[in-house]
Amino acid sequence: MVLVILASVGISGLLSRTSSAVEPIRIGFGISLTGPLAVNAKSALVAMKIWEEDINARGGLLGRPVKLVYYDDQSNSSTIPAIYTKLLDVDRTELIIGGYGTNMLAPAMPVVVHSGKLFIGLFGLAINSEYNYSKYFSMVPFGPSPKTAPPDVFFGVAMAQIPKPKTIAITATDSEYARNCSDGGRETAKAVGLKIVYDRTYPPGTNDLSPIVRAIQATNPDIVFICSYPLDSVGMVRAVNEIGLKPMIIGGGMVGLQATALKMQLGPLLNGFVNYDFWLPAPTMNFPGVMDLIKKYQAKAATEGVDPLGYYIAPWAYAELEVLGQAVATTKSLDDNKLADHIHNTEFKTVVGDVKFGLDGEWSQARILMVQFQNISGNGLEQFRDVATQVILGPSQFKSGDIIYPYERAKR
């Protein structure tokens, strides 16, 4: 009888250990599946799921499968603290990452810092500038000076033109991302000797932006630098075209204009706008593995109801998890401190190229694109597959064409 009991206990223990060995590594995050940020965030989620499939097809991590655990943050920053508290305290996820966007990442930071967890944020601008948290990393190529990185490239393009611009208007929605963006624009404008003739914010959710555009028009600026989120980016493009604002150059920090659905919606109204981007399928940006990912993504896009091309965010969402997965595999650990130390000291090979982080978790070098919309005709999809309608102006190593300057010439 004793032997039977011992054997039973042994078998039970073996089954328990076997069951434990195949428990998935759970990676938790909030993501905007509804609300205005969903236009980009849902594309990010498709890419994240492709990474989950790819890593599990290769045997998972540490001999365990990987499972993504996520909740809809509704594009509402007030939902974020509760989501990450639930992921850590109720779901007991071993690892967490950030969802999409500055406005959704910033409110997660107090929870993250309190918990001592590793946190990689997707497309967050200067998230760590107030926290200086050693376990935060930013999957966006803003570099060591994130607030000034987008305006640096934008103004670099502008100030190289003839005639050289002298005055600037700065407008931004009153939100975390846009405030950081416009702070950088103000700093860079002063550094290059531009006179600021207009500098105002407007409330989030402002439907009619024509009064703002008219006020800008009254100051007759050479440059209009805009820091906006998707809905007001669309509203701003429409208002600029309706009112006939004609600066020498316009754009800079407009979130949303990278989304294929919004490009198709706006069509020729986009011509002439110069705006940031992070990746396009130009020969200069054909990093190992990126086009394979794009093919997988596009094969899923129609059934998932997401951006049909996936150029803007899909490679970066995949790379966010590539960095995390490589760190876990190399350290053979889920310990947040060990993972953070490794990430600080490693250059990662990803689908967006080589990634190296600095001390504050930002990229050690900036790599932002400035792109001009050119020769868009109608609202069809196929023209946006071709980077000829989205010309990379800088930086020089990725340049694919020249600016049409001033802005009015590109509208003809």
CA pair distance 106, 77, nearest whole angstrom:
8
Tell whether 194 and 311 lie within a shared domain: no
118 found inside a domain: yes
Do 261 and 234 form a contact (C-beta atoms < 8 A)?
no
10 found inside a domain: no
379 found inside a domain: yes
Tell whether 82 and 157 lie within a shared domain: no
Q: In sequence order, which ranges of 275-397 are alpha helices (DSSP H)?
A: 290-304, 314-331, 336-344
193 found inside a domain: yes
CATH number, position 217: 3.40.50.2300
Domain range for residue 223? 149-277+374-410
Residue 8 has pLDDT above 70, yes or no: no
Tell whether 341 and 386 lie within a shared domain: no
Tell whether 185 and 320 lie within a shared domain: no
Express each pLDDT in 40-98 by its tens digit: 999 999 999 999 999 999 999 999 999 999 999 999 999 999 999 999 999 999 999 99
Tell whether 390 and 243 lie within a shared domain: yes
For the record, the structure tokens of 121 come out as 């944020």
Express each pLDDT in 109-166 by its tens digit: 999 999 999 999 999 999 999 999 999 999 999 999 999 999 999 999 999 999 999 9
Tell whether 231 and 119 lie within a shared domain: no
Tell whether 389 and 267 lie within a shared domain: yes
Residue 7 has pLDDT above 60, yes or no: no
Residue 203 has pLDDT above 90, yes or no: yes
Tell whether 191 and 107 lie within a shared domain: no
Tell whether 120 and 30 lie within a shared domain: yes
**Rounded (10°) CA dihedral 202, 192, 255, 313:** -160
7 found inside a domain: no
pTM over 0.85: yes
CA pair distance 388, 14, nearest whole angstrom:
61
Tell whether 190 and 228 lie within a shared domain: yes
Tell whether 192 and 265 lie within a shared domain: yes
Q: What is the pLDDT of residue 65?
A: 98
